[in-house]
A and B are shown apart, each in its own frame.
Chain A
Amino acid sequence: MSDTKARRWFAPQNRSETIAGLLFILPALVGFLVFVAGPMVATVVLSLTKYDLLSPPKFIGLANFQRLWGDQRLWKIFGNTGLFALFAVLGNVGLGIVLAVLLNRRMPAPLKYVYRAAYFFPSLVGLVFVAVIWQFLFQKDIGIINFYLGQLGVGPVGWLSNPNVALVSVIILDVWKNVGFAMLIAMAGLQNISSDYYDAAKVDGASAFSMFWRITIPLLSPTILFLLTMNTIGAFKVFESIVVLTNGGPGDATRSLVMYIYEQGFKSLNMGYASAISLLLLAVIVVITALQFFLSRRWAFYE
């Protein structure tokens, strides 16, 4: 800051505002520097070291990233996380929009109220709590899902023990839990679409189906993009539902990136390697956010 600028900020008529502004942001700024920015920089530094808490950190250059590249487990786990994210996001956002459109119709008020409450309630409850409930429901022998499937003549499914099915179970739980939130946000987005569009389309004899694709979806696109981004970032951080349901197993069939960070950092005490994996996760999130930013300029339709 140049001298004259500084003088202007602290000139008598501006001084109180400048000081107040700086004071008002001070607590949050200090908190940010100490607990967010500092650790962020430290993650980068730590990723270049070997550190096990016992002996002092040792600088090893890019060795952690080389190890990352050759780590078979990591790529399996990365694949799990990506697959989970893909289907969880499609399920949450897709079903959420469908539910929002259906609930947005004219219907008896009490019915609407009860339905909205029922769909939204699971989003409020802690993931660990609901995952414990679902773990019982998913049990092979005593679980009620298999009980009802058995009545339909479908043999017992190893929801949590079959490596090909376990990830599906995690996705089912995620969609059940989070679809209501997507629905709520989509409903709020629908409220902002003027009914004039639909009235005009009706005059032109448009069908409900074509109105959905040609009016609702384009006008809802900012909301959809927001939901896609939020859900994708959230999905890449998946952790506690898997810890409860399968603890990553069978084998590594359902292990997620955050579980691997936790395992490497806090169980094996490879603080340096855990930091390198953290940066990989961060890179994914940065790419998704950047993508959203550019897509929102090209694709999203703003009135």
Chain B
Amino acid sequence: MSDVVLQAAGRAASRSRWKILLRRSANWLIYGVLGLGALLMVAPFLWMFTTSLRPMREAFSLPPRWLPGLDATVESYQRLLSSTVPMGKFFLNSLTISATVTLGYVATTTIAGYAFARLRFPFKNAIFAILLLSMMVPLQTTVVPLFLLMRWLGLVDTQWAITLPGLTGAFAPGMSGVFGIFLMRQFFLTLPTDLFEASRIDGAGQFRTFWSVALPLAKAQIAALSVIIFTVTWNDYFMPLIFLNSIDKMTLPVGIMSLREPVGNSSAMSEVIAAVALSVLPVLVAFLVAQRWIVDSFIRAGVKG
């Protein structure tokens, strides 16, 4: 009797040992496949940085190199920065435009989001519904009249053509203004009503309540929104393409496009690679420093937005 039980237990144990082994090897297989995919994701960046550091003469010769060798040199960067292309200017323009748009967009959409969440005023729901509907309208469908408007205002080929819609919270490049309003509204709706009641009983005015009760609590959400708006503006190509003409007004994406030549000229190609590397580097550094925070920002906005 006990013999039979022992045998059965032994069989069960060896079977579960097999199962564990099987599950472990399946796990390692999955890690391996995921790792291979991850490698594919980073490979283009790796190739770019390595190629930008190769001697210009043979930068594109095959087989490709994946890591800089002993002959690594910064000559493509030197060539690029000493050429007539105002890379520094592109960089500065990208920075000021992105910062201005982010500041204005976040300020106007935060305060509007607060009003839609917390205050009662006439036509509130109707206005909000219209705004939500307008979220469907992409910039690409209104760009022709927008261009005519900016031309009429005399703002074509100035940064204002890009920053003004952002400053008023109408839209950031590639991101409807309603996105920010909706995101902030959803956040302010989660705060307990008592907080605002208490502030009102203390005799604080409406703006005061917003400023000293609601705003401090919204810091993380505001930061998340700022990260996203800064990123989309920094990366945008469409608005500067439409509205900026002179080379010294351009941002990095349009600037780099203007410096491209037909593929074949090896030194020109090296300069382009160096320019792209310089544009990607700040994003990479920011990501490595604040990965968790940036990823959380996108999750916050993506899930709720």
Q: Does B234 contact A (CB under 8 A)?
A: yes
Q: Does B244 contact A (CB under 8 A)?
A: no
Set of chain B residues within 8 Å of A40, measured between Cβ atoms = 134, 137, 141-142
A38 touches B145 (CB 8 A): yes
B31 touches A107 (CB 8 A): yes
B115 touches A34 (CB 8 A): no
Smallest CB separation, B60 vs chain A (Å)? 5
A189 touches B303 (CB 8 A): yes
B127 touches A25 (CB 8 A): yes
B44 touches A118 (CB 8 A): no
Size band of the interface chain B makes with A:
35 or more
B256 touches A129 (CB 8 A): yes
B144 touches A99 (CB 8 A): no
Smallest CB separation, B204 vs chain A (Å)? 11
Set of chain A residues within 8 Å of B276, measured between Cβ atoms = 129, 132-133
B256 touches A111 (CB 8 A): no
Set of chain B residues within 8 Å of A43, measured between Cβ atoms = 141-142, 144-145
Q: Does B77 contact A (CB under 8 A)?
A: no
Q: Does B68 contact A (CB under 8 A)?
A: no
Smallest CB separation, B277 vs chain A (Å)? 9
B138 touches A237 (CB 8 A): yes
Q: Which residue of B lies closest to A240 (CB)?
A: B237
Interface residues of A in 100-132 (CB under 8 A from B): 102-103, 105, 107, 111, 113-130, 132
Q: Does B147 contact A (CB under 8 A)?
A: yes
Q: Does A281 contact B (CB under 8 A)?
A: yes
Smallest CB separation, A99 vs chain B (Å)? 7
- Bound together, the chains give a CA A133 to CA B207 distance in angstroms of 49
Set of chain B residues within 8 Å of A116, measured between Cβ atoms = 295
Q: Which residue of B lies closest to A18 (CB)?
A: B121
Smallest CB separation, B134 vs chain A (Å)? 6
Size band of the interface chain A makes with B:
35 or more
Q: Does A296 contact B (CB under 8 A)?
A: no
Set of chain A residues within 8 Å of B134, measured between Cβ atoms = 32, 36-37, 40
Smallest CB separation, A245 vs chain B (Å)? 11
Q: Which residue of B lies closest to A266 (CB)?
A: B242
User: Which residue of A27, A119, A181 has the most chain B CB atoms within 10 A of its CB atom?
Assistant: A27
Set of chain B residues within 8 Å of A228, measured between Cβ atoms = none
Q: Does A142 contact B (CB under 8 A)?
A: yes
Set of chain A residues within 8 Å of B218, measured between Cβ atoms = none
B291 touches A117 (CB 8 A): yes
- Bound together, the chains give a CA A23 to CA B260 distance in angstroms of 47
* Among A31, A125, A286, contact of B280 (Cβ-Cβ < 8 Å): A125
B256 touches A103 (CB 8 A): no
Smallest CB separation, A12 vs chain B (Å)? 14
Q: Does A42 contact B (CB under 8 A)?
A: yes
Smallest CB separation, B131 vs chain A (Å)? 7
Set of chain A residues within 8 Å of B108, measured between Cβ atoms = 27-28, 31
A185 touches B299 (CB 8 A): yes
Set of chain A residues within 8 Å of B90, measured between Cβ atoms = none
Q: Does B213 contact A (CB under 8 A)?
A: no
Set of chain A residues within 8 Å of B235, measured between Cβ atoms = 125-129
* Among B38, B138, B148, B164, contact of A35 (Cβ-Cβ < 8 Å): B164
- Bound together, the chains give a CA A275 to CA B144 distance in angstroms of 7
Set of chain B residues within 8 Å of A281, measured between Cβ atoms = 138, 140-141
A133 touches B165 (CB 8 A): no
Interface residues of B in 263-305 (CB under 8 A from A): 263, 269, 272-273, 276, 279-280, 283-284, 287, 291, 294-295, 298-299, 302-303
A129 touches B210 (CB 8 A): no
- Bound together, the chains give a CA A107 to CA B263 distance in angstroms of 44
User: Which residue of B33, B116, B298 has the most chain A CB atoms within 10 A of its CB atom?
Assistant: B298
| Additional pairs, 10, CB under 8 Å, beyond known A43-B142, A184-B299 | A25-B116, A32-B177, A128-B235, A129-B235, A135-B263, A136-B269, A237-B140, A239-B237, A275-B145, A282-B141
Interface residues of A (CB under 8 A from B): 1, 5-6, 9, 14, 16-22, 24-25, 27-32, 34-40, 42-43, 46, 99, 102-103, 105, 107, 111, 113-130, 132-137, 139, 142, 144, 147, 176, 180-181, 184-185, 188-189, 223, 233, 237, 239-240, 243-244, 258, 261-262, 265-266, 271, 274-275, 278-279, 281-282, 285-286, 289
When A and B form their complex, which 7 residue pairs have the shortest distance between CB atoms, in order from nearest? A31-B168, A21-B121, A126-B235, A20-B206, A31-B170, A42-B145, A24-B115
